[in-house]
A and B are shown apart, each in its own frame.
Chain A
């Protein structure tokens, strides 16, 4: 029977205390990994969500709102811009490609965006299968939308009015899926793309129905409009001039997703830092609690360790038993902590991808795990040293009193 087996036997003898120690340690490990992964993965995930969009042009208003609505597709549209004027603005030598976006309907939580095939160039997206729409009411699905809606090429579906689920369904205007995009990691993955004409026809039909219901004459077709125009720059130099130039144009505002994101990060810096500090503090408290529990667990072995001294054990043999016991606890805590983090990370990244379009790998790397394990072993060693030294120096006759 060596020190490791004896340490294991001691742990089994007080399994409740050992289990508590492992659970506290596991929470600490999971918290540290979560902070590490979130700090590393979230900023690039936000960048990826923008896709290749360098500029978004919309009606006058908040630039951030424009980015949230027409690039990340997480907020409601706030107005329309005249299509011809907007497309004239983006016919600029510093703009590589541009595409209008007309929002209005949705299907199963995915937005249906009327646009032009140039949007694939803006996002640098490619078709995984099928072809781009060639006529109204043909649709190309983003990768996540296809997966969520369980649609394949040739399938038909009808959109529902507005962007909220459960609205009136336009059954008289069925779409046919003609293509599915490869995943891009951007908000495009959650969209259903179709021609502008599809959106206009449904919109006009809806207006006519409303007028008929009120007994009004049928409305005239309005000039083509869009919710926004998204564009990709030919050169980064455009970043400095174009948004300001567009802002100066009456009726339009231009927003750079990267700049808005930086502005958002700057504005939210105290909140982000507070969240990070809370995460780190939680990790430190969990690690300290685990260390205290570990110290208590090994401290409870004082009698056993003193007894082994009576039997002839050398102080370093006692220290090894205490350290082996502490390392077994920290190893188990790290294992459970990593498992906890993998489950939480997978769920968290799935929810973020579904709700906010932030696609990222929420799992710790082997290097993350190795660092946390090394830290856990060092903490365990420090926690074990005190009781081990106390056991080696303990007055045996006091501990073993009848």
Chain B
């Protein structure tokens, strides 16, 4: 880790993505300080979701480096990379990907547990309260509406106070009121917790709340 790495919550350089052994997208170089938010935009198929997976240490890019919280995430062995992701990266998937078999509260607890943290019930309640899902705490995840599941996915991403929050279309299933709450919460996470936020979106409501908007590049 270099001294300059510590200044950035997220830094990526020269990240190129491949699909079926063909280069198809280049992620704009990112230097995000804590508290900053950026939106990645681009047409469908431009590689926005794949870019987030590369930044989240889930899909290996063909080229480039990704440094999160001072750590070159793609240099870590697989199991350490998983644990690092759990501790320092909050992820909101486009399809939410909650653990359907357990309750909303248990989804949040699992995220803490597997990140190696002791589940913080108070923090979970605070997040659920802010997202308007406190009354759903004991409801099984497969019995939630799309909008409710999306808010649970955001709460789960924030439960461990991550250095970086990566959100794929976080307001796609929300009405205006809930989208505003979601944006508020994500901005709050950025500002109060000193996290960096990267979202992919077409939603003008989200774009307006970001510090920068960067288009996906061609390789």
Contact = CB atoms under 8 A, between A and B. Distances in A.
Q: Do A and B come from one complex?
A: yes
Interface of A: 1, 6, 9-10, 12-13, 303-304, 307-315, 317, 396-397, 400, 402
B101 A402 contact: no
Given A402-B94, A402-B95, A308 B110 contact: yes
12 contacts: A1-B106, A6-B99, A6-B102, A13-B101, A308-B114, A310-B85, A311-B115, A313-B114, A314-B82, A396-B58, A400-B95, A402-B93
A300 to B, nearest CB: 11
Given A308-B114, A402-B168, A13 B100 contact: yes
B201 interface: no
Interface in B82-114: 82-87, 91, 93-95, 97, 99-102, 106, 109-111, 113-114
Nearest to B101: A13
B49 interface: yes
Contacts of A309: 82
Most A C-beta atoms less than 10 A away, residue of B86, B87, B116: B86
A315 to B, nearest CB: 6
A397 B59 contact: yes
Contacts of A304: 99-101
B116 A312 contact: yes
Contacts of A402: 49, 93-95, 168
Contacts of A315: 79
Contact of A13 (B93, B109, B142): B142
A311 B110 contact: yes
A312 B102 contact: no
Contacts of A396: 58
A118 B181 CA distance: 99
A373 B102 CA distance: 29
A320 B53 CA distance: 26
A400 B115 contact: no
Contact of B86 (A303, A312, A397): A312
* Chain A binding surface, main DSSP class: helix
A10 B101 CA distance: 6
A274 B87 CA distance: 61
A309 B58 CA distance: 10
Contacts of A397: 50, 53, 58-59
B161 to A, nearest CB: 14
A312 B95 CA distance: 19
Nearest to B160: A312
Interface of B: 49-50, 53, 56, 58-59, 79, 82-87, 91, 93-95, 97, 99-102, 106, 109-111, 113-116, 142, 168
Nearest to A312: B86
Contacts of A400: 58, 93, 95, 97
A1 B102 CA distance: 10
Nearest to A308: B114
Contact of A311 (B59, B86, B95): B86
A55 B49 CA distance: 89
A312 B97 contact: no
Most B C-beta atoms less than 10 A away, residue of A6, A311, A315: A311
Contacts of B99: 6, 304, 307-308
Nearest to A400: B97
Given A312-B114, A314-B79, A315-B79, A9 B85 contact: no
A188 B59 CA distance: 79
Contact of A310 (B82, B101, B106, B168): B82
B82 A12 contact: no
5 cross-chain pairs, A with B, having the tightest CB-CB distances, nearest first? A312-B86, A13-B101, A312-B114, A313-B114, A402-B94
B110 A1 contact: yes
B29 to A, nearest CB: 22
A13 to B, nearest CB: 4
B95 A317 contact: no
A311 B56 CA distance: 11
A315 B77 CA distance: 12
Nearest to A311: B114
Nearest to A315: B79
A313 B142 contact: no
Nearest to A303: B97
Nearest to A399: B97
B181 to A, nearest CB: 23
Contacts of B168: 402
Contacts of B49: 402
Contacts of A314: 79, 82-83
Given A1-B106, A402-B49, A307 B83 contact: no
Nearest to B56: A310
Contacts of B110: 1, 6, 308, 311
A371 to B, nearest CB: 33
Contacts of B115: 311-312
B110 to A, nearest CB: 6
A205 to B, nearest CB: 80
Contacts of B100: 13, 304
Most A C-beta atoms less than 10 A away, residue of B85, B99, B168: B99
